[in-house]
Amino acid sequence: MMTSTKLFVRRLLKDPLMLGAVAVLGVLCLLALVAAVVPFAGNPTEIKGMRLSPPSAEYPLGTDSIGRSLLPRLLEGIGVTLVISAVAVLITAVVSTAVGVVAGYAGGWTREIILRVVDVFYAFPAIVLAILVAAVAGPGRPAAIAAIVLVTAPLMVRMIAVQAANVAYRDFVTSARISGVRLPVILVRHVLSGVAGTLAVQVTYALAVGILVEGGLSFLGYGAQLPESSLGLLVQEGVVYMTAAPWMLFAPVAALVASILSITIVGDTLRDRLEPREVRSLT
Amino acid sequence: MSDVLDMRAVGIHLGRGKGRREVLRDVTLRIAPGETLGLIGSSGSGKTTAGRIALGLLRPDSGTATVCGTPYRRSRREHAGKVQAVLQSPQWSFNPRRRLGDSIIEPLGVVDRGLDRMARKERCAALLVQVGLLPVHAERYPHELSGGQRQRAAIARALITEPEFVVFDEAVSALDVAVQQKVLRLIRKLQDTHGFGALFISHDLAAVRVASDRIAVMLAGEIVEQGAPGEVLDHPEHAYTRRLIETL
């Protein structure tokens, strides 16, 4: 008999939209990774040619305002943006899972206090909160990571707390309590496995939001700092020369849209596949 | 040998603020080893709350609840393995992401640390056979079994630690009549073999009659009548019991 995990993976592989999204993401990650290890497209900081040269055989995406080839800068930018977002979302996932599981399982006042604190952060518009954090912490990668964590954690804590509360009242958790199974074991073995689907979906959405926030912060000068590039930084440079050299804007925007869109599609597909399974009765 | 359940004058309030209300009042229940007490009453009468107190999941505001000769303390480990339960929902009686066998042997991890994994699996296989399933079912996931099979597996999990006291909370209510009768006969047979005392909570009078040695009737958080099934169900003394029998 096929296990539910194998069945789940098989169904995902039959979804062309999901496959396309995974392929786009895979290509972006692979290009960024390879470029970081072997600079096949050239050195992103080296001034090589004329300022604002249009795309050509020598410079496939053209050059920037001081004559650096845009292709290596874009690949570096994709890598920097993805790494900042991924590290931030990893921190968000760990913190939100711990806090959300405790809030959901404990219930009562513990849950109320945690969720009201979360509401305070949730009430801030994301970009305002991100700018506030970056302004306090100072521009750079740590500020961008902290800002993404603060922007993405409230929703993730809330979603995980709701799901953990659902799982906490299920008979298999009560049976484990009656059997004398220790609380940490119950939380890890039963509650955590019960929120895994919600966590997977929320992580993908948080990743998309993370890329957007990193882009926004770098665009405003609070994120990645020159000479390093990131997608937000490249978009900001592209906007300055939008009329004279539109290719400077086109490539980073396309990469930003492609990565956010594909991550969102992966998240939507995971949600459709994982969350109805929790309430199914006839499937 | 002491009673497996000795609840004396138990009272409890539940809810907060204006919603706080008295759910149990002066409830006294005793169950001897090997005996089954059926607890009946309409929805909201306090049956499940009484069961939760008997399992140590709730603490009474007044009165005492002693299980297997010991009152519940903050840590449940003193009663680990002695008290088990078969609960209402066949759909959620097992963690959907774990194989049945792993869930069934879980209580052994608390009480019998001397047993290695192979010995636990062997005990699990033997119990699965006793409840009318196959050893191979241990490798299956819950969604691969029917509701009746899952409830049988839940009984196997409850009995794996050889408990002295088992609470069946609406354990057969979600099953169809034919499967219900099979599971009830199984419970009686296992009780003869294992000798555990049981609290059988149900709103199904036919099921309670088959499963119980004595019956207690609950109305608005109080026990209004207790006795042998023949006395209570065929010659009810309390007006509420008569009404309950007519309604159900």
Q: Is the pLDDT of residue B126 over 70?
A: yes
Shortest Cα distance, chain A CAs vs residue B54, angstroms: 11
Q: Is the pLDDT of residue A282 over 50?
A: no
| Cα first-last separation, chain B | 37
Chain A with chain B: Cβ pairs closer than 8 A: 69
Q: Select from B10, B173, B179 the least CA-distant residue to B87.
A: B173
Please confirm whether the linkage preceding A125 is cis (ω < 30° from 0): no
Which of A178, A179, A193 faces B97 most closely, judged by CB atoms?
Answer: A193
Provide mean pLDDT across the span B166-194.
82
Please report residues of A whose CB lies closer than 8 A to that of B92. 170-172
Shortest Cα distance, chain A CAs vs residue B247, angstroms: 29
Please report residues of B whose CB lies closer than 8 A to that of A178. 55-57, 76, 83-85
Q: Report domain extents, chain B.
A: 1-82+165-248, 92-162
Q: Order the strands of the B165-169 sheet from edge to edge.
A: B83-86, B165-169, B197-201, B36-40, B214-219, B222-227
Phi (first) and psi of residue B168, to 5 degrees: -105, 105
How does DSSP assign chain B, residue by residue?
---SEEEEEEEEEESSGGG-EEEEEEEEEEE-TT-EEEEE--TTSSHHHHHHHHTTSS--SEEEEEETTEE--SSSGGGBTTEEEE-S-STTSS-TTS-HHHHHHHHHHHH-TTS-HHHHHHHHHHHHHHTT--GGGGGS-GGGS-HHHHHHHHHHHHHTT--SEEEEESTTTTS-HHHHHHHHHHHHHHHHHH--EEEEE-S-HHHHHHH-SEEEEEETTEEEEEE-HIIIIIS--SHHHHHHHHH-
- Classify domain B1-82+165-248 at the CATH superfamily level: P-loop containing nucleotide triphosphate hydrolases (3.40.50.300)
Please report residues of A whose CB lies closer than 8 A to that of B80. 179-180
Cα separations in angstroms, B245 against A127, B170, B202, B209: 65, 18, 13, 12
Which of A1, A172, A174 faces B103 most closely, judged by CB atoms?
Answer: A172
- pLDDT tens digits, residue range B206-223? 888 888 999 999 988 999
* Residue A283 pLDDT class (50, 70, 90 cuts): very low
- pLDDT tens digits, residue range A84-143? 999 999 999 999 999 999 999 998 899 999 999 999 988 888 888 888 888 888 888 888
Which of B81, B93, B109 faces A172 most closely, judged by CB atoms?
Answer: B93
pLDDT of residue A202: 92
pLDDT of residue A275: 63
Please report residues of A whose CB lies closer than 8 A to that of B97. 4, 193-194, 196
Which of A172, A179, A182 faces B94 most closely, judged by CB atoms?
Answer: A172
> Which CATH number is correct for A15-42+64-279, 3.40.50.2300, 1.10.3720.10, 3.40.190.10, 3.40.50.1820?
1.10.3720.10
- pLDDT tens digits, residue range B10-21? 999 988 888 888
Interface probe with B: pick from A112, A178, A198, A280, most Cβ of B within 10 Å: A178
Please report residues of B whose CB lies closer than 8 A to that of A4. 96-97, 141, 143
- pLDDT tens digits, residue range A55-78? 888 888 888 878 888 888 999 999
CB A115 within 8 Å of CB A123: no
Kindly give the interhelix angle for B117-130 and B100-111, rounded to the nearest 10 degrees: 120
- pLDDT tens digits, residue range A180-227? 888 999 999 999 988 988 898 899 999 999 998 888 888 888 877 777
Say which DSSP state A50 is in: -
ipTM rounded to 2 decimals: 0.87
pLDDT of residue A1: 47
- pLDDT tens digits, residue range B59-72? 899 998 888 888 87
What tokens appear for A169 in the block?
């009242």
Cα(B29)–Cα(B188) distance, rounded to whole angstroms?
21
pLDDT of residue B229: 87
User: Chain B: which residues have CB within 8 Å of chain A?
Assistant: 55-57, 76-77, 79-81, 83-85, 87-89, 91-98, 103, 106-107, 109-111, 140-141, 143-144, 154, 157-158, 161
